[in-house]
Structure 1
Amino acid sequence: MESVLVAPVGSKPQLVTIALDLLRERGEDVREAVVLHTTLDRPATRASIAQLGKEFPRAYKDIRLRPICLCDERGIPLADVDSALAAREAFRVLYREIKTAKQARRRVHLSIAGGRKIIAVYGMTAAQLLFDSNDRVWHISSKPALVASKALHPQPGQATLIRVPVLRWSDVSPALTDLILSDDPFEALQRQEELLQADALRLARAFVERALTPSERDVVQLIVCEGLTDNQIAERTCRSVKTVGHHLSSAYRKARVTFELRHADRHTLTSLLSTYYTLNS
């Protein structure tokens, strides 16, 4: 499968070339390197992009280098990613580039080495939204001698790719479905939250209205809505404490099955069902 490397670059262009070398050692068919940078008015950034521009035709003839300047909403290059506004714009660019790669059916390798830490954080969020099981997030561990030398290509044993686990929203990339229609990651996040909340509400409704018996439903509602103890529930419903306990044990068992949990108790039920009861009160 063709793949693309997405990587931020600041004053250390070697983080891009090291990632490429290590990916090729793994047999990855990288066809493009998307390099995210701030304004070229900064000498260090300008020198990094220029160095990569010279190195790619020599060392990576089959890989396209595509530098992308991080800009604000007016198209003005960002001097740095050191404010909330700048970070949001950087997130939008990251999201757009990963989404474009996924829609082209490419495997994405996201390097979070180099650049501002906030870029790495937003990169992980974009990966959660858009990655499928084929995509990877990487960190680079380099020997001090390699870093000090500023060499673009590591000697054997000087650098290692460390895979960073990603908790994905779905096994299928949303970029390949009609789920994410906007290029704005914040709209995508809101849409994901809405879908998750809707799914949680449907599951809660099925549990309360179909899985529980009427007696179990009475007991569970008193726990979730009023926080009553077993003794208080027994008094309120004119049942014995033992009977209330039986109802609760059955409800916990059913909750473990319905919500696929290892453990369930009254706190679990309150967390899972409070929205349902609020909307149906």
Structure 2
Amino acid sequence: SLSLPITELIVLHFSHPDARLQQALHKLAAEFNSGQYGERLLRLRFQPLSTPNQTIHDIYDETDANTAWEAINDLIIQLKTEQRTLHICISGGRRILGLLTMSAAMLHFGHQDVLWHMYSSAELRQAADEGALMHLPPGAEFRLIRVPMMPWGSYFPALRQMTRPTAGAADVLAGPRAWLDGAEYARARQVIERLTERQRDVLAAFAAGLNPQRVAEKLFISIKTVDSHKTVILAECRNAWALPDDDWLDYHFLAEKFGAWFNLAD
């Protein structure tokens, strides 16, 4: 059971005149009466997926996905601005809506907010098909499963400010990614500036995806010398990225973090 009372239920759905969808919404609305669900005070609010410039009937391509993400992102921003605690339940509907919701929630959730997956057995789903069953019978195989998720926006608040999407943007997350890429680039530069010329040569070879043996062959040096340079380079990386001493680092880290740097340099 939840320790906080649920005061409002928001149903997020496509803005579609589909008869089955409309019937489902009407059937759900009939379960609520003047802000009550049974004997519990609970407001019901239907939230069609839309932006100020567009209604979303379905997700047919990446443009629709970006627009839907904007709508979900804006709704979560609005609710968190109102200091709401959110319990978002993913159940039914298009799978991509759950993915888009999780993407936005990771940016705006606090530690008190929860994302849930609603599990029900195949038998229960069959019995409830088309709204035939609106209330769980005793002993029904049903449970809410908490989805493990890091609220990254709580740790990096700047991300929240940067995810207020630009209307018509081809990629609504291009701005935040550029900011993160810039931070990675700065760390890479910090490391490179502290290396000797020969250590930079070794780093460039690792960044190109070579293993230690091939680095040695390319630079005409011994494996022992490669390992010595690698130890220094990884120590600088540990400092630049503020990684714990017990985090394992090897040459694969260098290819991941510095490949783009040397591609740009070329």
| TM bucket, shorter chain | 0.7 to 0.9
The aligned residue for residue 66 of structure 1 is 45
Q: Indicate the RMSD between aligned Cα atoms, in angstroms.
A: 3.3
Deviations, residues 37-56 of structure 1 (Å, cap 9, x unaligned): 23463332222222222222
Q: Which deviates further from its counterpart, 111-120 or 187-196?
A: 187-196
1:36/1:183 CA distance change after superposition, 3 Å: farther
1:73, CA displacement in angstroms?
7.0
1:156, CA displacement in angstroms?
5.4
Q: Which deviates further from its counterpart, 161-170 or 252-261?
A: 252-261
Alignment partners' CA distance in 2, 1:172 and 1:247? 34
Higher relative contact order (CA 8 A, sep 6+): 1
Query: Are 2:219 and 1:233 aligned?
Result: yes
- 1:130-149 aligned within 5 A: 130-144=108-122, 146-147=124-125, 148-149=127-128
Query: Are 2:29 and 1:29 aligned?
Result: no
Q: TM-score, with normalisation over the residues of structure 2?
A: 0.76
1:243, CA displacement in angstroms?
2.9
Q: Which deviates further from its counterpart, 94-103 or 175-184?
A: 175-184
- 1:4-153 aligned within 5 A: 25-39=1-15, 41-57=17-33, 58-59=36-37, 62-71=41-50, 75=54, 78=57, 81-84=58-61, 85-144=63-122, 146-147=124-125, 148-149=127-128, 150-153=132-135
In structure 2, the gaps of 5 or more residues are none
In structure 1, the gaps of 5 or more residues are 1-24
1:63/1:270 CA distance change after superposition, 3 Å: same
Deviations, residues 212-235 of structure 1 (Å, cap 9, x unaligned): 455433432344369552133245
Alignment partners' CA distance in 1, 2:77 and 2:105? 10
The aligned residue for residue 190 of structure 2 is 206
1:183/1:278 CA distance change after superposition, 3 Å: closer
Q: Which deviates further from its counterpart, 242-251 or 252-261?
A: 252-261
The aligned residue for residue 174 of structure 2 is 190
2:12–2:47 contact (8 Å) kept in structure 1: yes
Alignment partners' CA distance in 2, 1:241 and 1:48? 68
How many residue pairs align between the two structures?
250
Q: Which deviates further from its counterpart, 267-276 or 54-63?
A: 54-63
The aligned residue for residue 152 of structure 2 is 169
2:56–2:64 contact (8 Å) kept in structure 1: no
Alignment partners' CA distance in 2, 1:183 and 1:98? 16
Q: TM-score, with normalisation over the residues of structure 1?
A: 0.73
The aligned residue for residue 250 of structure 1 is 232
The aligned residue for residue 22 of structure 1 is none
Counting aligned pairs with the same residue, the percent is: 26
1:132–1:172 contact (8 Å) kept in structure 2: no
Alignment partners' CA distance in 2, 1:146 and 1:139? 16
